[in-house]
Structure 1
């Protein structure tokens, strides 16, 4: 395990790889490990929205343990792996250790938002690591949606449910049968899987054209098709009222706001704003979306390299300090 850490750090400068262990006689037994590859931390900070999903799933292999992950969302609404972590169990101490390591990796991006299913001990850990969280603004989630909360008082994020595809469920599906592997093989397989994903995304973005990523472009095209029943009444050049079936909303283009609040939350025009934008025939949609929906930001997220690694037999051997697997606690059967 120690040799694996050294190889990762040597080949991926700027990564954070931390191992915690416990003494058992003269031996050091593996307890938990955190991995955040530099390509992931840098890509998240420069190319993704400041939204992180946290969750954990139980390992299915020989040893007891939990695999935890921090994931983001890229501009095309796909999960972006930030860090992964194997721990002995879910509790405040282990989650605090994880969040401390995560903070070393990505800092505290402006307007950072965290979503979670509120695993055991996680709420207290977040308050320990991020003491500036506003009281009462960390909210639990269901499996199909996540609720978000601002970690900075002036972020202005709505404190209400926001329906999004679950980052956490998607990550667990993405891991699949890897959770049956031994700990070392699991960690290396996830590294390889992330490397493949980055290469796949770089190839994908080369097939796109224009300014916006595919999902944002399709979203705007879809809602622009059925605007016939929306009535737009101007107040001034960039402010209007929009009516539809007896309901009315206020839209402000300069501030990129609609009273339905969808534009502010999703970062792309709602149907009411789209009715106004279509009326004035402004084809420059990139002016009205969050920068993270642009191809330029998407490229930035996946621009960093995850270095390849040779087989274990070619790694530099360390003298002493070997870390052993944990004691098997799972009974036979």
Structure 2
């Protein structure tokens, strides 16, 4: 709870109005008693790493440091992929990875990159996460290298990202042979800056959703007369896959938006203002609870095709 929220809560619950600075100092003092000092939190990551590797052999946990001008060794970035997440992805998930990052709160204004995927029931499946100070090319390349080390080489793999220049370079250098997909919602937000009108809203979305090449051409031919420059703009600024008709059938995933990243951000939102070692431990606990819950669900499910897949098949057959 932040100082502003705490001030309101004290006013509502106890009827006392305390100056903001006093409340802020009190919350900082309480936070240090609960979680320790922020500067010590980065040192505690090494203990977290040792404990994870001891309790879950096969997990990939990496910490990278830099040496400043004064010769002091400082924290730079962190990567974590639990053994259960790696095995679950390789043995039970589709070869599809959504990659994005979210900004952290509180004293360290860093970012949390995450690699996410889908299980057989189309549920969010966390694969890996980490920390770095900013979304630079070097940081993204390091994160993607750790991810490749965790999952190993794969014959078929799709990676979906937003329009992030540093991430683009990282995927090109670390995963040069993957099917590279781009979030269509972000593409449309960029398109609205240059092209406006009903013709784009009514026809560009159906272009992306169409499964067959002739349906893709049917809707795209309605867009080109409004502005022939659209094709050139897409080829220059959005050369990656964003239409279902272009996706490989081997991936078995037709998502055109990077919604997995938004779901992850909402899922870990309440942990984003914790010290980094507490954040890692809180996410670890949350993932363990998630996997235990899904294990119970899987035991209770009948053998055969999953219920969610049957529901989708029935819904599709009714539309036909």
Band the TM-score falls in, shorter-chain normalisation: 0.5 to 0.7
Residue in 1 that maps onto 2:26: none
Which contiguous aligned blocks of 4+ residues in structure 1 show a shift greater than 3 angstroms? 24-27, 137-141, 143-149, 154-158, 161-165, 221-224
Greater alpha carbon shift after TM alignment, 82-91 vs 214-223 = 214-223
Asked if 1:13 is matched to 2:53, the reply is no
What is the CA-CA distance between 1:166 and the residue it aligns to? 1.2
Residue in 2 that maps onto 1:34: 79
Higher helix share: 2
Residue in 1 that maps onto 2:315: 222
Task: Return the match for 1:4 from 45, 48, 51.
Answer: 48
User: TM-score, normalized by length of structure 2?
Assistant: 0.63
What is the CA-CA distance between 1:140 and the residue it aligns to? 4.6
Residue in 1 that maps onto 2:295: 202
Residue in 1 that maps onto 2:171: 126
Higher strand share: 1
What is the CA-CA distance between 1:207 and the residue it aligns to? 2.1
What is the CA-CA distance between 1:155 and the residue it aligns to? 5.2
Superposed CA RMSD in Å reads: 3.0
Q: Which SS does the other structure have where 2:75 is aligned?
A: strand
Distance 1:13 1:181, change over 3 A: same
Q: Distance in 2 between matches of 1:139 and 1:221?
A: 29
Q: Is the 8 A contact 2:157 2:178 kept in 1?
A: no
Which of structures 1 and 2 has the larger relative contact order (alpha carbons within 8 angstroms, sep 6+)? Answer: 1
User: TM-score, normalized by length of structure 1?
Assistant: 0.60
Residue in 2 that maps onto 1:70: 115
Residue in 2 that maps onto 1:178: 271
Aligned residues: 222
Task: Return the match for 2:132 from 72, 78, 87.
Answer: 87
Residue in 2 that maps onto 1:142: 185
Residue in 1 that maps onto 2:161: 116
Q: Distance in 2 between matches of 1:82 and 1:201?
A: 15
Q: Distance in 1 between matches of 2:263 and 2:255?
A: 17
Q: Which SS does the other structure have where 1:142 is aligned?
A: helix
Asked if 1:101 is matched to 2:146, the reply is yes
Q: Distance in 1 between matches of 2:118 and 2:57?
A: 24
Q: Is the 8 A contact 1:148 1:162 kept in 2?
A: no
Residue in 1 that maps onto 2:230: none
